Amino acid sequence: MQYHEAFLDSEAYKKEYISGLEDWITKKEKEAEKVRAEHIKDIFADPETYRAELAEMLGYPLCEKRPETAPSVQMEKLSEEESYTVYRMRYEILEGVLMTGLFFRQKGDEKRPLVIVQHGGEGSPELISGVYGFTNNYNDMLMRVLKHGVHVFAPQLLLWKPQRFGAPYDRDAIDARLKSLGSSIAAVEVYGITRALDYFEGLPYVGKFGMVGLSYGGFYTQYTTALDTRIRSAISCSYFNERKACFHEDWSWKGSANRLQDAEIACLVYPRRLCIELGRSDELFACESGIAEFERLKALCAPLVTDADWLDFILYDGTHEFCLEDTPIERLVADIQND
């Protein structure tokens, strides 16, 4: 071949392709807003239909009926503290798939509420509970819940930092493989949390459920609470946002922009309580787009929901960290106190 050119001679055409693709996606995202608005018009009148759709969107096993029996559980006592005992808990969520976590059981046989406290990206139950002597941006979130006399379970999700905790993995690759099978990592892990609730529900010393999470933990809190009505009150911190502004591969599913986004999924928590927290200086997820999504949530609720007490929105002075204000935790604990 006689023709030759420099590497950058075709750059303009590549830029043209990128620009066209970005513009086309933006146009379709705008169109999706109208499609979604029409699609979810009955979300408050018929929430179960939309819960089923959300489960189907995330995939197997959420779209299947859960087993009637609770999962088998293995408990290893780690520490006997003054007012509670710490266990490492392992339980089977799918055939041969063992999920693990830390269970903090308050002493005594009195029936007490239980709160799922969920770590985020690069985190672990051990980190958020302070067993290493620090909790980073979690700001002692687990102990701030535990001090209210509730039981706490902190599951380990496929989010730990291998450079610190070992056990390397590729979350995106696992998610892609699961999606090719009609599942997703989100579906598996939300299901895993609900199976933990199946176990705790059968214990005589466990009462009502709440859930709290930061970042990825906020994502799992919002989705699990939307799908499982046993969770009576929830705090989602540093997650809620416009997905077109804060997108991850594992937060996207086929057609999700046309069906259910953060605001719509939050609607599925109603009439239970949902507290959404955003940091003004969040360096990962800009609060401005989170505020815009919350305004859209309010607009969805305005014509149909007269009880505004179910939804709290807190914009705090902070970064990508768990809010230092304890009032939301106190309110959550009050919501799930036994009758």
Mean pLDDT over residues 42-65, rounded? Answer: 96
Sequence-separated (6 or more) residues with CB below 8 Å from residue 202: 70
According to the model, what pLDDT value does residue 316 have? Answer: 96
Which residue type, as a one-letter code, is found at position 139?
Answer: N
Examine residue 14 and state whether it is found in any structural domain, yes or no: no
Examine residue 7 and state whether it is found in any structural domain, yes or no: no
According to the model, what pLDDT value does residue 296 have? Answer: 94
Examine residue 28 and state whether it is found in any structural domain, yes or no: no
pLDDT 10s digits, 234-248: 999 999 999 988 888
According to the model, what pLDDT value does residue 245 have? Answer: 86
User: What order of strands is seen across the sheet that includes strand 84-94?
Assistant: 73-80, 84-94, 97-106, 151-155, 112-118, 206-214, 231-237, 273-279, 311-316
Q: Is the pTM of this model over 0.85?
A: yes
Please report, for the domain that includes residue 171, its CATH number: 3.40.50.1820
According to the model, what pLDDT value does residue 339 have? Answer: 56
According to the model, what pLDDT value does residue 248 have? Answer: 87
Mean pLDDT over residues 139-156, rounded? Answer: 99
According to the model, what pLDDT value does residue 302 have? Answer: 85
Mean pLDDT over residues 87-94, rounded? Answer: 98
Q: Please say if the pLDDT value at position 179 is more than 80.
A: yes
According to the model, what pLDDT value does residue 309 have? Answer: 87
The total domain count for the chain is: 1
Examine residue 9 and state whether it is found in any structural domain, yes or no: no
Residue 74 pLDDT level (bands cut at 50, 70, 90): very high
Q: Please say if the pLDDT value at position 331 is more than 60.
A: yes
Alpha-carbon dihedral sign for residues 289, 236, 98, 67: negative
Examine residue 157 and state whether it is found in any structural domain, yes or no: yes
Q: How much of the chain, in percent, has pLDDT values that exceed 90?
A: 95
Examine residue 272 and state whether it is found in any structural domain, yes or no: yes
Residue 276 pLDDT level (bands cut at 50, 70, 90): very high
pLDDT 10s digits, 194-232: 999 999 999 999 999 999 999 999 999 999 999 999 999
Tell me if 188 sits within 8 A of 157, measured CB to CB: no
According to the model, what pLDDT value does residue 215 have? Answer: 98
Copy the structure tokens of residue 70: 């609770």
Examine residue 20 and state whether it is found in any structural domain, yes or no: no
Examine residue 29 and state whether it is found in any structural domain, yes or no: no
CA 9 to centroid of chain Cα atoms:
46
Range of the domain at 239: 36-335
Mean pLDDT over residues 255-273, rounded? Answer: 96
